Each structure stands twice: as C-alpha cells, then as structure tokens.
C-alpha cells in the first residue's frame, strides 16, 4: 500500500526530435508500470515532471528542481523514471539524489533497468548502473577530444563566437571518425582588423589596460555591438592566440608552455595565424574560463595573422607582470547606492571616497559616472553628486513608504497580477508570439517577486521607518535593493524608480 502519498514521474529528453523515447512515450510507460505495481493509486495520485531540451550531464533543470522541492515539502511514495540516464549521467549527482530520496523515505524506480531502491539489491544495482552511465559520458567526452585532434590538423575554425577582426566562411568537407564534417576558415575583415591591431599597439605603448580603455573611449572605438570596449573585453582580445602569427617566437612560446602542438616547426613561417582548440571551459550562464595552456590543442591555422609572435608574447608578459602587481581595491563601506545609481548617459555611478570628513564626522564621498572617469570626461561631462547627502535623501524618501505602505503594496500586487495575466494569456496563443512571452517572463523576473519575496517586502514596508535606522550597512543595502529598481542622476534631479511604482524626482541641493 502507498499510505495515501502521491507518486512522481520524471521524464527528460535532450531535444525534441519526434522520434525515439519521447517525453510522452516515457510518461506512458511509467504510468503502465505504476498501474501494474501500485494498483491502489489513481490518475490524480500521479504527479508528472518533464524537462525537454536539457542535457543529462547535470541536474540543473527546472522541472527536476521543482520535483525535488515538492519531495522535500510534501513527500512522494516513489519517483519513477523510464531509464536511469533520464535522471543523470553523472554519478556524483545520481548518488546525491539517491541519498536525498532515501533520507526522505522515497523509493526510486527505473523501469527500463528494473531497479527499485526499496530493496537492498536494487540500491546496489542502481549504483553499479550509474557507474556505467558515467563511463559512457566520459567516453563520449574522450571521443570529442579525439575528433578535435583530427580537426586541429586542418587548422580550421570549428565554430563558436567569431573573434573580432574575422568572419567565418565555409571551406570544405573532411571525414572525421567515419563521418563527413563541414569545416570553416576565418577571413579577415579589414576595418575590424585595424581595430585589433590598434588595441595591441596602444597596450604595448601604455602597458596598461585602464589607459588602453581610456584611449579607445576617447577616440570613439566601439565593439561589434556598438558599445565601448571594457578592460575585460580588451584583455580577452589581448590574450587570444588567434591573432598571433605562427612564427619562431610563437613556436618557442607554445613549446615552452607545454601545449598539445599539432603542427611541425617548419610550418611556423609567419604567414598564418594560430588556432587554439579546447582553450576555454564554456558553461551556460557563466563567463568562459581559460584552461591551463597544457590542455590546449594548438595548430597553425589557415587565416591571416594580425600580430607578430614577438609582440603577442610581449603582451602576455606585460599582462602577467601587471597581474602580479595588482591588488583588490578595498570596497567602500559607506556608500549605499552602488549598483543602483545610474548617470543620465546610461552608465553606472561609482562612489569615490575622500579623506575629508563632514560636520557629523563621516568620511565624505561623491558618486561619479564610470564612463566619465574612464574617458577622462571626454564621453560624459556629468557633474558629480555628494554621496553623503544623496544616500540620506534616498533613505528618507523610502521611509515615507512606511506611512503609505498599503497603497504601495496595492500597486505591487496590481503589477504582479498584470504581468502574470499577460503571460498566461500569451501561452494560449500561437507560436508567433513566443518572443513576446519570453519578454514578459524577463520582465516578471526583473520586476516582480515570488510569494516569499513579496511577503518579505510587505513586512519590510510596514516596519521600514522604525527598523531601517537599526540596520547595519549591509542590511540597509539589502533592504534598498528589495524596494528600489533604479536611481538616475540627471545633473539637477534624482529620479527614484521603485518596483511597481515611480516616485517624483528629488531635487539635489548640494552642488
């Protein structure tokens, strides 16, 4: 007997193909198993969780997370899936899941392998099977690396974000691992190539990312997306070996750093650039990480280089020296509005602390536009604003919400219902408005809250004036970020934008 608890079905497929073990097929097979083995359970006792378009490499999937949240809050009798790898191909994730389910008193059933963790033998066999799933995953990864070795011998571009200065174009088909593959090559874009050469030239002259950034802003150089180059973007360009000529200096540098080199020394004649494969670790939602050079797979490319090997190597030496001398700038512990305050030009305003104090004994600080500072007032001339006075003015304005909190909560509720209503309506329409649904969901994430967050805001509002002055600096920052969406300084007025409501601009009276 199932003691009245519900049973969960979990299904997953990497992408929709219309063939094979579809989500619907998996669910139907699981239902048949439940009807055969848990005859006292009705259709209403079965909860279904399905993730389509997600890999089995990890458990970071929305429906899987929701299932586990429900398991902890309400509990299931069992979790049933069609096949073991629908849950995960990673033994660490799988072992953690089994342990968590066991702690919750929930059985796990995989009908394809006929494993049931309610029995000791089932638990043992489940772990053994998960080892093979992990082995399969690692074998696939090794095969991919072997293919990469073969492709690297061609010196071709394998895809991804094309580096500034080049465009990717189809070259030829080659056979790798018994399959025909289309490969591409990089073709120079003269205007962009000139920008890349300028960045290297300015950095070699200044030996400074900050000075290079300032020079580029002052002279109007922008990225493909029409934005000013940041120090992060400049560093990514300077460290990308694709721009380096395959010459004697390049060969010596790469050899000394123990890269996996797939080109003979005689091919390093300075006429082509370098191709570095397996150089970065790419994870969804995270910035790419550069692997250690000994993990790179390097060959001579078929594209025209932009920087000599000697200059590229010298740039790497400068960057390494600067990195060893750099230190982390201490964070200001007095400014409340960092990350919320924007200049009218669109950039953030950052606090700058002085050594002077005001009549209250507080260190005086000002907020200044980041673009103004980076461009040395060339691209933005917005005047600075007294941070001590602005922070106090914003806090006093927020405290007024305590006196009219019921009206503000009402506005939040209306905004929340309106956005959710639009999304629900959108789901009923055709494929043509999927983009609009995504936009509304983004708005919902950015400007509305979960029920727990909403309740927290309400509690904060009702007690804000009395509680705010008792908070420490970090608590005040957190409280402001729950209520304030954006603050904008226009030179004379400060515009305060709250979640769900706008406040009239404040007049800044300390120049």
Report the pLDDT value the prediction gives residue 439, as an integer from 0 to 100: 42
- Better-scored residue on pLDDT, 479 or 224: 224
Helix 91-103, helix 120-152: angle, nearest 10: 160
- Alpha-carbon torsion angle 243, 246, 252, 254, nearest 10: 50
What mean pLDDT comes out for the span 202-231? 90
Pairing relationship of beta strands 107-110 and 115-116 according to DSSP bridges:
antiparallel
**Is the CB of residue 27 less than 8 Å from the CB of residue 50?**
yes
Which residues, other chains included, contact 350 with Cβ-Cβ below 8 Å and sequence gap of 6+? Answer: 338, 367, 368, 370, 373
Which residues, other chains included, contact 12 with Cβ-Cβ below 8 Å and sequence gap of 6+? Answer: 23, 26, 50, 51, 52, 54, 56, 61, 64, 86, 87
Q: What is the DSSP letter of 348?
A: B
Quick: pLDDT tens for 398-454. 777 655 555 555 555 554 444 344 434 444 444 444 444 444 444 344 444 444 445
Computed from CA positions of residues 349, 355, 356, 362, in that sequence, does the dihedral angle turn out positive or negative? positive
Taking Cα atoms as reference points, which of 60, 62, 108 lies closest to residue 81? 108
Q: Please give the full DSSP string across 422-477, using - where no structure is assigned.
A: HHHHHHTS-GGGHHHHHHHHHHHHHH---HHHHHHHHHHHHTHHHHHTTS-HHHHH
Q: Which domains does the chain have, with CATH numbers?
A: 6-141 (3.40.50.1390), 166-325 (3.90.1750.20), 341-507 (no CATH)
Taking Cα atoms as reference points, which of 210, 216, 211, 204 lies closest to residue 317? 204
- Beta strands in 370-442, from DSSP E residues, in sequence order: 385-386
Quick: pLDDT tens for 14-62. 765 555 567 888 888 899 998 888 878 888 889 999 888 787 777 788 8
What global pTM score does this model have?
0.49
In this model, does residue 332 exceed pLDDT 70? no
Quick: pLDDT tens for 441-497. 443 444 444 444 455 555 555 566 666 766 777 777 777 776 777 888 888 888 888
Quick: pLDDT tens for 261-288. 888 889 899 999 998 888 887 654 456 7
What mean pLDDT comes out for the span 180-192? 82
**Is the CB of residue 281 less than 8 Å from the CB of residue 288?**
yes
Taking Cα atoms as reference points, which of 342, 348, 389, 347 lies closest to residue 487? 342
Taking Cα atoms as reference points, which of 296, 195, 291, 282 lies closest to residue 237? 195
């Amino acid at each position: 007997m199932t003691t009245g608890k519900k049973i969960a079905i979990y299904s997953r497929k990497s992408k929709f193909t219309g063939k094979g073990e579809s989500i619907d097929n998996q669910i139907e097979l699981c239902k048949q198993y439940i009807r055969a083995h848990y005859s006292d359970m009705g259709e209403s006792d079965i909860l279904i969780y399905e993730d389509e378009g997600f890999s089995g490499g990890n458990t970071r999937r929305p429906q899987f997370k929701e299932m586990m949240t429900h398991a902890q809050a309400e509990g299931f009798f069992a979790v049933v899936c069609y096949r073991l790898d629908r849950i995960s191909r990673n033994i660490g994730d799988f072992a953690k899941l089994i342990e968590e389910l066991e702690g919750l008193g929930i059985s796990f059933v995989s009908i394809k392998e006929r494993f049931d963790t309610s029995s000791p033998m089932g638990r043992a066999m489940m772990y053994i099977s998960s080892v093979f799933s992990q082995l399969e995953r690692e074998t696939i990864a090794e095969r991919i690396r072997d293919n990469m070795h073969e492709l690297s011998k061609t010196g071709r571009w394998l895809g991804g974000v094309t580096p500034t200065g080049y465009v990717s174009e189809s070259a030829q088909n080659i056979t790798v691992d018994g399959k025909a593959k289309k490969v591409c090559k990089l073709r120079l874009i003269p205007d962009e190539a000139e920008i890349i050469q300028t960045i290297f030239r300015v950095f070699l002259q200044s030996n400074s990312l900050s000075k290079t950034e300032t020079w580029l802003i002052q002279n109007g150089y922008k990225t493909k997306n029409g934005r000013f180059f940041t120090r992060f973007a400049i560093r990514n360009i300077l460290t990308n070996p694709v721009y380096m000529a395959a010459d004697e200096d390049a060969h010596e540098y790469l050899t000394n750093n123990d890269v996996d080199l797939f080109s003979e020394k005689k091919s390093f004649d300075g006429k082509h650039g370098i191709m570095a494969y397996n150089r970065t670790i790419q994870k969804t939602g995270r910035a790419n990480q550069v692997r250690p050079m000994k993990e790179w797979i390097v060959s001579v490319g078929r594209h025209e280089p932009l920087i000599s090997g000697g200059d590229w190597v010298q740039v790497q030496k400068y960057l390494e020296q600067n990195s060893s001398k750099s230190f982390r700038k201490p964070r200001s512990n007095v400014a409340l509005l960092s990350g919320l305050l924007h200049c009218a030009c669109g950039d953030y305003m950052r606090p700058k602390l002085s050594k002077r104090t005001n009549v209250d004994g507080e260190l005086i600080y000002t907020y200044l536009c980041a673009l103004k500072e980076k461009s040395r007032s060339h691209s933005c001339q917005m005047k600075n604003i007294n941070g001590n006075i602005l922070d106090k003015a914003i806090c006093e304005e927020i405290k007024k919400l305590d006196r009219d909190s019921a009206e503000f909560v009402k506005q939040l509720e209306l905004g929340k219902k309106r956005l959710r209503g639009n999304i629900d309506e959108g789901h009923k329409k055709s494929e043509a408005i999927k983009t609009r649904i995504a936009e509304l969901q983004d708005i919902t994430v950015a400007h509305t809250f979960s029920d727990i967050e909403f309740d927290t805001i309400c509690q904060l509002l009702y007690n804000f004036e009395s509680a705010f002055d008792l908070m420490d600096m970090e608590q005040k920052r957190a409280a402001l970020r729950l209520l304030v969406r954006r603050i904008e300084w226009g030179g004379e007025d400060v515009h305060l934008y709250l979640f769900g409501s706008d406040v009239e601009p404040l007049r800044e009276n300390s120049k």
